[in-house]
Amino acid sequence: MANVLVTGGAGFIGSHTCVELIAAGHDIIVVDNFSNSKREALLRIEEISGKKLKFVEADILDQYALKMIFDKYRIDAVIHFAGLKAVGESVHMPVEYYHNNITGTLMLIKAMRAHNCKKIVFSSSATVYGVDNPVPYVETMPTHTSTNPYGYTKVMIEQILRDVAVSDPEWSIVLLRYFNPIGAHKSGLLGEDPNGIPNNLFPYIQQVAIGKRDYLGVFGNDYDTHDGTGVRDYIHVMDLARGHLCALDYALSNTGVEAVNLGTGKGSSVLDVLHAFEKACGRKIPYKIMPRRAGDIARCYANTDKAKELFGWQARYGIEEMCADGWNFIQKNPNGL
């Protein structure tokens, strides 16, 4: 069992992963600055796991804070979630996104290197595949384009980590390329709780279903898909959390760099998700067709063969379970965490 530093562990994916790490017997240390997460998530992790968390409130841009953490705890590996993540916001705030995501990662790598901790699982994204690759996306495809600064931070951090591994073959790095995580923990204690107006489809649907918003805006219904709306690879957040556990196990016993997709390998349209959520909550969810958003593509889904071969991992849950668990969470937490 390992001592694992989880950066951004109070966030949506981070918090669900913490639950899985604790269940698997790992000791975790969470660092978060609550810029887009809530302290309550940590209490919920403790409630689900029955364990007291080791937690440090700090920003990964703070080199001194990182040094203190690595000095105090003997860290075996890092799972790195911390970062700004809103695509639209990144277009308006490119400097802040590049500084936070890239510089923060560089500070983290420096602290790791100084303490001889050379195992990291990085929270990357399917956005690294850009707009020119055909679906399904395979890990060997070129990843040098993106449609927004957020996506470019992932492209650049992947390259930085590859260069680190070339410079020192003792490093073990897993780049996890997420597709579209939705759903919530079965208990209803943890789920996605964005600040302000949600940027993502699923929490927006949840808020319409619970009556907090009047309707869902569907951006474009003239794509070349089965119903004209954009198709994405939605993955249950608990499947994703389990994928991190597999990636950590791999990193602890291997060296080098591996990029791995975490998705279901199936695409669902915006309206597919909407109708599945209607089934889960037993009511109609109003929506309006809006103009396409700049940078959106028609289809995005994963080839998931590598995750199965390397980790023995594959997604267990379908869109129905994702929606049922998401409805359970928002009913129990209509105002978020």
**β strands within the chain, DSSP E:** 3-7, 27-32, 54-57, 77-80, 119-125, 172-178, 180-182, 216-219, 231-232, 234-236, 256-262, 268-269, 287-290, 299-300
The predicted-structure confidence for 70-125, as pLDDT tens digits, reads as follows 999 999 999 999 999 988 899 999 999 999 999 999 999 999 999 999 999 999 99
The predicted-structure confidence for 176-229, as pLDDT tens digits, reads as follows 999 999 999 999 999 999 988 898 999 999 999 999 999 999 999 999 999 999
Domain assignment present for residue 115? The answer is yes
To the query of whether residue 178 is one of the catalytic residues in this protein, the response is: no
CATH of the domain at 243: 3.40.50.720
Residue 149 to residue 30: CA distance in whole angstroms: 27
Task: Name the helix (H) or strand (E) containing 12.
Answer: helix 12-23
Domain assignment present for residue 319? The answer is no
Average pLDDT, the chain: 97
Q: Per-residue pLDDT for 293 more than 90?
A: no
Domain assignment present for residue 136? The answer is yes
Domain assignment present for residue 250? The answer is yes
Domain assignment present for residue 85? The answer is yes
* pLDDT of 93: 96
Residue 257 to residue 250: CA distance in whole angstroms: 11
**β strands within 118-200, DSSP E:** 119-125, 172-178, 180-182
Domain range for 77: 3-182+234-265
| 7 confidence band (pLDDT: 50, 70, 90) | very high
* pLDDT of 294: 77
Domain assignment present for residue 310? The answer is no
How many domains does the chain fold into? 1
Q: Which residues of 166-181 are buried (b: 16+ CB within 10 A; e: fewer)?
A: eeeeebbbbbbbbbbb
Domain assignment present for residue 127? The answer is yes
Token representation of residue 270 = 């915006």
Q: Let me know the angle formed at the C-alpha of 179 by 132 and 133, rounded to the nearest 5 degrees.
A: 10
Domain assignment present for residue 238? The answer is yes
Q: Catalytic residue, from 129, 137, 150, 301: name it.
A: 150
